[in-house]
Amino acid sequence: MDIVQWKDVSNDRLNNISFTVLKNQIITLIGPSGAGKSSLLYMMNRLDDKDKGTILFKGKAVEDYPIIELRQQIGMVFQSPALFEGTVKDNVAYGPLLHNRDWSNEQTVELLEAVHLPADFLHKPIEELSGGEQQRIAFLRTL
């Protein structure tokens, strides 16, 4: 990404942003409220338009990707995750099953353990989870 600029009606939220994310690297954007973190993510995923600059993904401008293809490859987890009705496994397995890939209970349990959630969460209804637990499930689904 190079020299991205975005303005809203009140001020320049993002100006002269430039960074590189390496393959398989996970990044975190931090900053005060209103600094433009979410706006930057929206532009990377083409949920919003930039005013100036270039956003490259795998060496190609994000505008040159079909939106669905781009969004299948760039994941985002927001403060208030949007989860589907059903169980923890239903949510974690959503992506693989959408792409006709097999997904086992064992794979889900392995991921749950990676984010310090017990195996018995596998069949737990999403609405029974705390906010922090839902956040971790949203993170797993994004991965």
Task: Say whether both 6 and 52 belong to one domain.
Answer: yes
Whether 61 maps to a domain, the answer reads yes
Cβ–Cβ under 8 Å, residues 126 and 79:
no
Quote the pTM value: 0.68
Domain extent for 13: 2-73
55 shares its domain with 6 = yes
Tell me the pLDDT band of 67, cut-offs 50, 70 and 90.
very high
SS3 content of the chain, % helix, strand, coil (to 5): 40, 15, 45
Assess whether 67 and 9 both reside in one domain: yes
- Radius of gyration over alpha carbons of the chain, in Å? 17
Looking at the fold, whether 15 and 60 belong to one and the same domain comes out as: yes
Q: CA-CA distance, 134 to 97, in Å (whole number)?
A: 20
- Is 83 within a domain? no
- Say whether both 19 and 62 belong to one domain: yes
Number of independent structural domains in the chain: 2
pLDDT of 18-64, one tens digit each? 888 888 887 888 888 888 888 888 888 998 888 788 888 888 899 99
Instruction: Say whether both 68 and 95 belong to one domain.
Output: no
